[in-house]
Every structure is written in structure tokens, then in C-alpha cells.
Amino acid sequence: MTADSSSLGRRIPIGTALGRVGLALAVAFGALAAGAGYWQVFRSTDLSSSPDDAGVIAASRHVLRGVITDRDGKRLAWNVRDKNGEPFRMYASPALSGVLGYASRQWGNSGLERAWDAQLSGAASADPLYDLTRKFRTDPADPEALKTTLVLQLQQAAVKALGSNRGAVVMLDPRTGEILAMASTPTFDASAIANPATSDKAFRALQADPSLPLLPRATQGRYVPGSIFKIVTATAALSSGAITPATTFAQQPPAEKNGLLVSGFRVHDGHHLFTGSEAMNFDQAVEVSCNIYFALSGLKAGGEAMSTWAARFGFGDSIPFDLPTAASQVTGGGGSFGGGFEDDVELANAAYGQGETLVTPLQMALVASAVANGGILMTPHLVLSATGRTASTTISPTVWRQVMQPDIAGEITNAMKLAVNSAWGRIFTSGARVSGLTVAGKSGTAELDPGNKPHSWFIGFAPADNPQIAIAVIVEHGAHEVRASPLAGDLFRAWRAWANT
Amino acid sequence: MTAAPAPAPAGALRPGFRLALRPRFRRRELGLLLVVSVALIAGRISLGVTQRAAAARLAGDSGPVAIVVPTDLAILAAYVGVLFAAHLALVLAGRRTDQILLPTVGMLGGIGLLLMERLPQTLAGSLGGLARTQLVWLVLSFALITALAVAVRNDAWLRRYKYTWAAVGVGLLLLAFVFGRDVNGARLGIAIGPLTGQPSELLKVILVVFLAGYLSENRSLLVEESTRIGPFSVPPLPYLAPMVAMWAMALGIVVVQRDLGAALLFFLVFLLLLYVATARVSYVVLGVAAALIGGAILYSRLGYVQTRVDVWLNPFADAQGAGFQIVQALHAFARGGLIGTGLGAGLPTIGGRPPIPALHTDFPFAALGEELGLVGILAILGLYLVVIERGLRIAATAPDEFRAILAAGLSLVVGVQAFIIAAGNLKLVPLTGITLPFVSYGGSSLLANGLVVGLLIALSERGAELPPPGPRRGRLARLGRLVDRGAP
């Protein structure tokens, strides 16, 4: 064919070289095929089902989280889609922020959205068969809709009552442990965090906010309780036999004027203007919220009994609940006086809710609930049922523990009823009384470090003879200007309005 | 030597370019084009149904999806029309040229176009979206193929001015050094005023033309006058210079332009053509050794080369950082599996974005691996092998060495480029930023590869006339004449 470069000698076989080059490239492309086979066959399952796989991530982002409703079926959280077709959460009201939390692609989940994430996103199914066959399905997620124990209108009423103050409200049914309202203020707009268009700005602003709106105060806020803690002291003192309802302390009337001296520390009181020099029994001491009576009761019962009975209410540990809870405490612990108390001064102070005592609003609502329910504390919970595609899980009320004997619960109920309704009691707990509804309760003013206005507290329940609603209200630094008792009165009325419909 | 071609009815336009109008049917090309059209249209219908089903799901409907809306097919129909128009032009030209290459690259271009239609249209492209822009470039590319296949009858303009071409190539390289524009950390593009482009794409064609001229002229000398150093035979020293220059240029591209892909492509094509011309394995071994030494020096000195290599060796170590793209590509292959997810059904988007950023330029192979599966990958690799096989066949039957080496080089430049980027996507070699010929998005790449295939088809003409011996100057030219003396 061609004349090869012949003048210099032998022919160079170009055809053979071309054949070898072709062979080399065929081998190279064979290597490509082998490489593709390795990734597409041998590593296929391993890589494509890993949590880092874009397909897995995209599926989770495209899944429609289960809708959350209140106990009457009103929608609390649902989904809308952004411009990319990816869904995000919308919430019925900022009033829900302290309990539902938020679900956000950018910032993760909090609150109920976090606690029930597996069910809401469909990663866990109510149907065991679905879990078994999940791998073989084209649409592996089975999101469950949650029906909560909450009442949207009570939740909104609670936030409205707190107004511009920081604080928290917990309302629950003492017979079942179902939480009807759990509010924390200031609230935040969880929809703005969930919406990818506003998420970053909204979340960063909330993180920087000094009023800590992202803190769920009802479950995570730890406060000095003040006089509402006297219900715990009463339970310990009555149950341990340290006092009976008829017990009076001889040193109480004289101590009213100059304070009760406990190892050099003076316990003061402010009610002798009304009560004069009468030695009060248990009921009267609750009515006027006598610090000296409860300091003496606590000292008589002893540190050990105080800690033991507080622990029966749930103090000292986190509470078994849908949301993570901070542990409440009677004492800082580690002391040698008994029950972890340092000395009799700390014990005497703790007995009327000062000292080292710290509580969460949920814990104090459970204290009221246990008294209301004849001493039996129901497990608090937020969800009534979770419904997936094919199956549904229902959460029934369960007894958490028996805190005290029914007769002691009856004694305390009686005293709390007087504290709201008697002539003396009304001076201290004014505003909690509701006409046509017997309210039992106890107010508290938690003294803080000098310069900080005290917190205002109320715990209670109603109707006193057949309790159906228990409540705890705290207004941070409410002092005597914004008191918790009238807010509780408003909320009892709101509850009655809801219960009667 | 075969008989000279029949005299053309139309007169010569100018030396080297002649237009002839004498229809000759190309049945094989027509048949293959029909197969390609059916495959592409089937692919487009499948894509359309998938896309509409996804849109309906998004809107909350779950009913059956309506059958093809005609507007879906407009872009692909235009493309298929262009393929048949190219075929018609070749029929009218009546040349006895290759009938396989046009349908093969037509299929590759069509697969690429389907991918561009499937990706988010906002990814790139100024002419109304990704697919429309790609269509425009494809049309220009196939127009270039057709024009070259019809009009180029004589290769004297290529072989005679090889040093001029070399100068143009060096000039392009200098342009890139001076006007370089950084794309993803590499100076892949140049921008002079409104004109932008990737010079390395054109440079690869010029390189092949120069090498074909240089090697065909000097191949005997390269073989005969080799010196032995130990077990290796080394090319004669005066002829070693261009090779050293080639090696230096490749390293220079890596250092200055940070374009690992182009450097690898140029050097591999150079070595393969050196082997084609000399049949000396030792030269290739020498070249590979030189490349490895150069690579080792670059690895120790250049941070970005180190990163590339480290990411290649273990991309999963930094899956969210430097290894992100390649890890995402491997996941895409894995999701595709054996038969793929189907066109339009893969590439899950997160926040409206596909998982890999440069899907349309650097990772079309991975994208197709996901949606067409291993089966589709093997088919695409097969198409490139066909291009290589046709090119080498054209080379083997070429009337002289220049044409042989030119044809081999043109097909290798496509085949090796496809290999480098596919192997990079599959983590067989370090990832580079070069395009998958005819599939990747981009004008420079499509036009340069159109140039390659157009020349290949023109070179494939059976019974082509030999070029007249031209005037030559210089010492190298005198040496070259010795080679040509044997020609009839």
C-alpha cells in the first residue's frame, strides 16, 4: 500500500503498532467497565443506603412529617412546600413554641418535634409489619400523625395571660396525667425557623435574644419556688407523722415579731399584722402561708424525710415525660445534716421554699396534681395517639407512683381550698378564686438575691372536691405587680369555658 | 495505490477545498441514524413521562400521567433533524467516506442533550437554558463536521505548515497563560473581551496535527538513529528535543494552568502517537518514567496536586470537603446499580440542587451512570470504542504516514479524553476537569471534537489523492524529504 520510509532501511510496521494501541485502549476501557461494575454492583447497596447518600437525605427532606393536632382535632403543625417542592413546617400559633418546639432542615428539631421525630418523619412505624418490609418498599417512610393532649385555646390563653412577662404555665388533668397546656414565654415563631427562606435570620436572632425564648421554661427552667413548696413540706411532715393537722407550735406566735432564730439565722414572716399572736394549726398556717410554722414542721420532720417525700413527687431526677426535663431539687445535696442538707438553717429555709430549693414549673404542676388525685401521681404525657398509614398507637393513662396516702392528700386539699377561699387566704392568694368553681391552691413569692424582684408563683387545682384540672403558673420577677394567682384564676375560667363546650 | 478519484463535476474552489455534487447513497449511515433516532426519541418520551409524573406528585395529584406533549420533543427533534441534514449533505457530496462515525457521535451528542434537558435548566447557558444552549453548540458542531467531511479533500494545508500550527498552539497556550480565567481553581478558560473558551480543546487538535507532521517526517530517523543507554534505546538526541519540549509543556500546563486533565491528555496522546510512529516500547517506557518523575516533583511542590492525589486515594476521608464531588459521584453510580433509575428519576435534589455541582461539565458520566445504570455506562463506553476503532481503521488504511498518524491521533484524542474523565469519575485516576467528548456541556469542547470527527470523516475517503510534495525549508525539512522520497 504506502511506500514506507525505505531509504534508511527496514520497514516500520505501522499497522501492528496501531493494532497494539487499539488493544491497549480496549484494555483501558475494559478497566473502566470493571470500575463501573465495582461501584454499580458490588458497592451499590452499601453506598446507596448509607445515611450520607444524597438519595437518602433527599427522601428524608421530601417526606411529609405527620400532622400534629390538639385533643379536639385542631391542627397545630402541618406542612407547606417551598419553591423546590420540599416541604417545611407551619405552626398554628407561636403560643405552642414552648411545647412543640420546631422542625427545621437547617437547625434540626426541638420540643415534641424532636421527641417524636422518628414517628413524625416515618422512620419508625406503628405497624411492626411495615418495619419488617420497609427495605422492599419504594416509599419507605410511614409518617405518623400525632394527636396531642393539648388544647389549643388553653395554650393560647396561657400565653395571653403571661403577656409580655417571662414565665411558664403548665395545666394538666390530674386523673390522667394528660397535659392540656404547657406554655413558655417569651414565645417564638417556629414557622419562621422551619421556613428555609427565613430560617437562618430567625434562628440567629432568637439565639442572640437575652430573654432566651428558645428555653422551654416549663420543663427546663429551674426556679426558686417560695411558698408553693410548703405543699411538699406539708406532705413530708404529715406523712412522716411529724405533725398532724391539729399541731401548733408554741414558739410560733412570739417568733412572728422578731423572727424565728435557727442557729443564728432568723426566719421572718409578714402575716402577724393580720393574725396577731394566735398559735396557728396546719390549715391556718397554709392559709396565711406561715414561714415559721413550716420551718418548724420541716425541722421536726428532718432532712431525711424532706428529701424522701420530695423524691416521691419526682424531685432529684428528670421526670419521665415526652420532653426532656431538668431535675428539681430540695437541696444542693452533699450535706451531712440528713437528706443532703448542710445544716438546720438550710433545712428550715428549704421548708418554706427558699434555701437551695429549685423547681421546674412541670414539677410543681405534678405536686398539685398528686394532691388533687388523692395522692396518686399519673405519668404526665403529651400524646394521645400516633396514627400511621396502616396502624395506630394509643397512649393510655398510667400511674407513675403513689406519692401519699389519700387521707393526707385530703388534709392538704382542704388547707389549699381555704388558702384560696377563706377570709385570710384571700389576702394572700387574691384573684385565684373563681365564682362557681371551688379552687384549691397555694401562692408563692420566691425571694431572690437582693436587687432581683421575686418570682410570683401559683399552684392549684379545681374543682376542689372532684379535681379535673391542675395548674402551675410562674411569672418571672412578677413580685407584687404581676402576680401569678389572678392569672391562674383566668386560666381556670378558660378551662371551664373549654370543658363546658 | 488505489485509483485516483473520478474527476469532480464542480470546479475547484481553491487549493485543498473542492465541492462536488454527485449523490452517493450511504445506506449504512442512514440505517444507523434511524436506530439512533428511535433510541433518542424513546429516551425523550421516557424522560417526559418521568418529569411529568414528578411534577404531578409535587402538585399532589396521583392520577395517570398524560402522554407526550409535543413541546417536550422540540429540542430533540431539532437535533435529530440536524443529524439527518448532515447525512443528506454527505450523500449529496457523494464521497466514499466513513458511515459509522456520524451516527456514533450523533448518539453520544443525543445522550448528552437528553441529560441537559433533564438537569435544572438554570445550571448554565445564556441562550434560554442549559438544553437550548447545548443544542445550539451541537448544531454548530455537526455543521462543522459536515463542512469538513464535505469540503476537505486535501491535507496539504495541515501537513505543510506543521510548524505554523505549532506556533499557533504555543500562541494559544500563551493566551491561556496571560488571559487565563480561573474555573474551579483551574485556569481552564480564557476570556478576551466577550469571547470565552477553553483553549486546551483546540490545542489538542493542533497538537495532533503537529505530531502527525513531525513524527511522519522523522519516524525513520527516530528509530534508526537511536542510541542505547543501558537496556533502553533513546531517540537520537536532536529528535529528543521536541519530546522534552512536549514533556515540559505538559508540566507547564499543570503548574501554570493547574489543568491536570489537559496535561494528562496531551502527554498520553503524544506517547501513543510516538509508539504508533516508532513501534518502540522503550520510548513509551521512557516517556512514562519521565512523566512519573515530573509528577513526583509536582506532587512534592504543588499543594493542589497533593490534594488531588490524596482525595483520589481516599475521598471518603474528607467526604464533606475536598472529597465531596467524587464521593457524590460514586454514590450516584451506586444508586444507579445495574439498570439505573431511568432518565429523570435519579439525581435526587437537595434544596432544588442536584447532589454534584458540576454535573453538566465534569460529571455527566456519573449522572448517566445513575440514570442509565451499568448497562448504559457499558453502551457509552462502547460508543467511544467504536470511535477509536474507526479512527485506527482509517489510520491503518491511510495512503501515507502523515494521514495514518493524523487519523490515529484524532481518534485517540477523543478516546483518551473520554477515558481520563470517565476514569476520574470512577476514581480509577485522579479527578480532572476535562469534558466527556460530545456529552459534556460546553461550546469549546463540542466544536473542537466536531473538528476532530469532521477531519476523521474527510480523511477516511477511500481513493484519496496523495498530496503533492510541497516546498520545504530548513534542516528538519531536508530530513523529511528523505522520508518522502520513497513515495510514488
Whether A458 maps to a domain, the answer reads yes
Tell whether B246 is covered by a domain: yes
Mean pLDDT (whole number) for B11-30: 68
Q: Do residues B186 and B80 both lie within one domain? A: no
Which chain B residues contact residue A86 at CB under 8 A?
351-352
Is pLDDT larger for residue B295 or for residue A476? A476
Q: Is the peptide bond before A216 cis (omega within 30 degrees of 0)?
A: no
* Out of A22, A58, A59, closest to residue B388 by CB: A22
Find which of A32, A63, A139 to mutate to test the B interface (most B CBs within 10 Å of its CB).
A32
- Binding-face residues of B in 41-70 toward A, CB within 8 A: 58
pLDDT of residue A252: 87
Nearest to B378 by CA among A28, A38, A32: A32
Q: Are residues B306 and B454 in the same domain?
A: yes
Mean pLDDT of the A416-428 span: 88
The pLDDT value given to residue B476: 46
Express as a percent the part of chain B with pLDDT over 90. Answer: 41
Does residue B133 belong to any structural domain of this protein?
A: yes
Which triple of cell numbers denotes residue A80?
407547606
Closest CA in chain A for residue B217: A5
Q: Would you call A5 and B412 a contact, using CB atoms and an 8 Å cutoff?
A: no
CB atoms closer than 10 angstroms to residue B132: 17
State the DSSP code for B152: B
Nearest CA in chain B to A49: B335
**Facing residue for A14 by CB, picked from B349, B404, B426:** B404
Which one, of B142, B129, B8, B46, lies nearest residue B85 by Cα?
A: B142
The residue out of B122, B151, B180 marking a domain boundary is: B151
The answer to whether residue B12 is domain-embedded is no
Asked if pLDDT for residue B488 goes beyond 70, the answer is no
Q: What is the ipTM of this complex?
A: 0.88
pLDDT value at residue B480 = 43
Residue B103 or B69, more confident: B103
Q: Report the sign of the C-alpha dihedral through residues A359, A361, A366, A369, in that order.
A: positive
The alpha carbon torsion through B13, B16, B17, B20 (nearest 10 deg) reads: 90
pLDDT in tens, A450-474: 889 999 999 999 999 999 999 999 9
Of B392, B423, B486, the CB nearest to A22: B392
A8 with B349: Cβ contact below 8 A: no
Domain boundary among B106, B131, B151: B151
Q: How far apart are the first and last CA of chain A?
A: 104
Tell me whether residues B378 and A33 touch, CB distance under 8 A: yes
Phi-psi region of A339 (alpha: psi -120 to 50; beta: other; left: phi over 0): left
Instruction: Answer whether A7 sits within 8 Å of B277, measured CB to CB.
Output: no
Same domain, yes or no: B428 and B308: yes
What's residue A442's pLDDT? 95
What is the rounded radius of gyration, in angstroms, for the C-alpha atoms of chain A?
32
b/e burial code for range A282-291 (CB count within 10 A of at least 16 → b): bbbbbbbbbb
Angle at A431 between CA A430 and CA A435, to 5 degrees: 115
Of the two residues B482 and B131, the one the predictor is more confident about is: B131
Q: Is B395 exposed, middle or buried (0-12, 13-18, 19+ CB in 10 A)?
A: buried
Mean pLDDT lowest among A213-227, A397-411, B279-293, B409-423: B279-293
Residue A77 in domain: no
The SS3 call for residue A265 is strand
The shortest CB-CB distance from B279 to any of A3, A16, A24 is to A16
Q: Of B342, B339, B394, which is closest to residue B371 (Cα–Cα)? A: B342
3-state secondary structure of B343: coil
Tell me what the mean pLDDT of segment A481-495 comes to.
94
In A, which residues are within 8 Å of B335 by CB distance? 44, 47-48, 53, 55
**Given this model, what pLDDT does residue A138 score?**
57
Query: Does the beta-carbon distance from B335 to A39 stay under 8 Å?
Result: no
Contacts of B1 (CB under 8 A, 6+ apart): A1, B399, B466, B488
Instruction: Taking residues B259-282, report their average pLDDT.
Output: 89
Confirm whether A358 is domain-assigned: yes
What is the model's pLDDT at position B386?
A: 97
CB contact (8 A) between residue A32 and residue B278? no
Q: Phi/psi at A172 (nearest 5 deg)? A: -145, 160
Asked whether the beta carbons of residue A41 and residue B338 sit closer than 8 angstroms, the reply is yes
Check whether A449 has a pLDDT greater than 70. yes
Q: Is a pLDDT exceeding 60 seen at residue B15? A: no
Amino acid at B143: A
Name which of B428, B430, B260 is nearest B333 in CA terms: B428
Q: Range of A422's domain?
A: 226-383+399-499
Condensed to tens digits (0 to 9), the pLDDT of residues B307-353 reads 889 999 999 988 888 889 999 999 999 999 898 888 988 888 877 77
Chain A residues within 8 A of B377 when measuring between CB atoms: 33, 36, 40
What is the rounded distance in angstroms from the CA atom of residue A292 to the CA atom of residue A265?
12
Residues of B in Cβ contact (< 8 Å) with A41: 337-338, 374
Task: Quote the number of domains for chain B.
Answer: 2
Pull the grid cell for residue A123. 422512620
Q: How far apart are CA B430 and CA B365, in angstroms?
A: 15
Helix/strand/coil for A3:
coil
Q: What pLDDT does residue B19 have? A: 55
Enumerate residues 167 to 226 of chain B having a beta carbon within 8 A of any beta carbon in chain A. Answer: 219-221, 223-224
* Shared-domain flag, residues B114 and B175: no
Q: What is the pLDDT of residue B13?
A: 41
User: Nearest CB to B485: which of A7, A26, A61?
Assistant: A7
d(CA A374, CA A371): 6
Within a domain: residue B92? yes
Statement to judge: residues B186 and B318 lie in one domain: yes
Query: CA B161, B163, B167, B170 torsion: positive or negative?
Result: positive
Distance from CA of A61 to the nearest CA of B (A): 8
Q: Could you tell me which residue, A333 or A482, shows the higher pLDDT? A: A482
CA-based nearest residue in chain B for residue A44: B334
B319 and B439 co-located in one domain:
yes
- Give the pLDDT confidence score for residue B281 in this predicted structure: 87
Instruction: Report CB contact under 8 Å: A36, B58.
Output: no
Same domain for B273 and B137, yes or no, is no
For residue B5, tell me if it sits in a domain.
no
Lowest mean pLDDT among A67-81, A85-99, B35-49, B470-484: B470-484
CB contact under 8 A, A58 and B348: yes
Other Cβ atoms closer than 10 A to B304: 13
Looking at per-residue pLDDT, the higher value among B466 and B332 belongs to: B332
Asked if A441 and A432 count as a contact pair (C-beta separation under 8 A), the reply is yes
Considering the domain boundaries, does residue A262 fall inside one? Answer: yes
* Co-location of B209 and B306 in the same domain: yes
Q: Of all residues in chain A, what percent carry a pLDDT higher than 70? A: 94
Q: Does residue B68 lie in a domain region?
A: yes
Using 50, 70 and 90 to split pLDDT, how confident is the model at B71?
A: low
pLDDT at position B167 is 85
Interface of B with A in 409-468 (CB under 8 A): 412, 415-416, 419, 422-423, 426-428
CB contact set of A27 (below 8 Å; sequence gap of 6+): none
- Position A499 scores a pLDDT of 94
Record: contact B220-A8, CB cut-off 8 A: yes
Residue A105, pLDDT > 80, answer: yes
Grid cell digits, residue B486: 520513497
- The answer to whether the Cβ–Cβ distance between A39 and B334 falls below 8 Å is yes
The phi and psi torsions of A180 (rounded to 5 degrees) equal -90, -30
The answer, yes or no, to whether residue B162 has pLDDT greater than 90, is no
* B chain contacts of residue A28, beta-carbon cutoff 8 Å: 419, 423
Which pLDDT score is estimated for B113? Answer: 96
Chain segment A13-23, per-residue pLDDT in tens? 788 899 999 99
Q: Enumerate the residues of chain A whose CB falls inside 8 A of the CB of residue B350.
A: 54, 57-58, 61
Query: Which residues on chain B are in Cβ contact (under 8 Å) with A60?
Result: none
Predicted local distance difference test score (pLDDT) of residue A119: 87
Of B328, B374, B392, the CB nearest to A21: B392
Measured between CA atoms, the residue of chain B closest to residue A35 is: B426
Write out the DSSP string of B313-338: H-GGGGTTTTTHHHHHHHHHHHHHTT
In chain B, which residues have their Cβ closer than 8 Å to the Cβ of A55? 331, 335, 348
Q: Name the least confident of A169-178, A289-298, B351-360.
A: B351-360
Residues 466-485 of B with CB under 8 A from A: 482-483, 485
Mean pLDDT of chain B: 83
Chain A residue with minimal CA distance to B416?
A25
Out of A1, A5, A44, whose CB is closest to B220? A5
Residue A4 — very low, low, confident or very high, per pLDDT cuts 50/70/90?
very low
Size of interface A-B (CB pairs under 8 A): 177
Report the chain B residue with the minimal C-alpha distance to residue A45. B334
- In this structure, are B331 and B391 located in the same domain? yes
Q: Domain check: are B52 and B186 in the same one? A: no
CATH number at residue A346: 3.40.710.10
Q: What range does the domain containing B41 cover?
A: 19-151
User: Which of A14, A45, A139 to substitute to test the interface with B, most B CBs within 10 Å?
Assistant: A14
Average pLDDT, integer, range A20-39: 96
Q: Is residue A81 part of a domain?
A: no
Residue B10 pLDDT grade (very low, low, confident, very high; cuts 50, 70, 90): very low
- The tally of domains found in chain A comes to 1
> Cβ–Cβ of A29/B404 closer than 8 Å?
no
Render pLDDT for B425-462 as a digit per residue (tens, 0 to 9).
999 999 888 999 999 998 899 999 999 999 999 999 87
B488 touches chain A (CB under 8 A): yes
**Any domain includes B9:** no
CB atoms within 10 A of CB A249: 21
A47 interaction partners in chain B (CB closer than 8 Å) = 330-331, 334-335
Per residue in A43-102, pLDDT (tens digit) is: 988 888 887 888 878 877 788 899 999 999 999 999 998 887 789 999 999 999 999 999
Picking from B101, B122, B151, the residue at the C-terminal end of a domain is B151
pLDDT value of position B186: 58
- Nearest CB neighbour to A13, from listed B279, B319, B378: B279
Residue A170 lies in a domain: no
Same domain, B77 and B120: yes
Q: What is the pLDDT of residues A232-268, one digit of tens each?
A: 999 999 999 999 999 999 888 888 888 888 888 888 8
Q: Given an 8 Å threshold on Cβ–Cβ distance, is A3 in contact with B427?
A: no
Are residues A448 and A217 in contact, defined by beta-carbon separation less than 8 angstroms?
A: no
The stretch A221-232 carries a mean pLDDT of 96
Q: Is residue A150 part of a domain?
A: no
CB A26 within 8 A of CB A106: no
* Statement to judge: residues B78 and B169 lie in one domain: no
The mean pLDDT of B137-147, rounded to a whole number, is 97
A263: exposed, middle or buried (Cβ count in 10 Å: 0-12, 13-18, 19+): exposed
User: For the CA atoms of A113, A116, A119, A122, what is the dihedral angle to 10 degrees?
Assistant: 40
Distance from the Cα of B195 to chain A's closest Cα (Å) equals: 34
Q: Residue B3's pLDDT is what?
A: 44
CA distance A399 to chain B (A): 44
C-alpha cell at A453: 424582684
Asked, for residue B10, whether it belongs to a domain, the answer is no
The answer to whether B370 faces chain A, any CB pair under 8 Å, is no
Q: Does A241 fall in a domain? A: yes
pLDDT in tens, A123-144: 776 677 766 665 555 566 778 9
- pLDDT computed for residue A49 by the predictor: 80
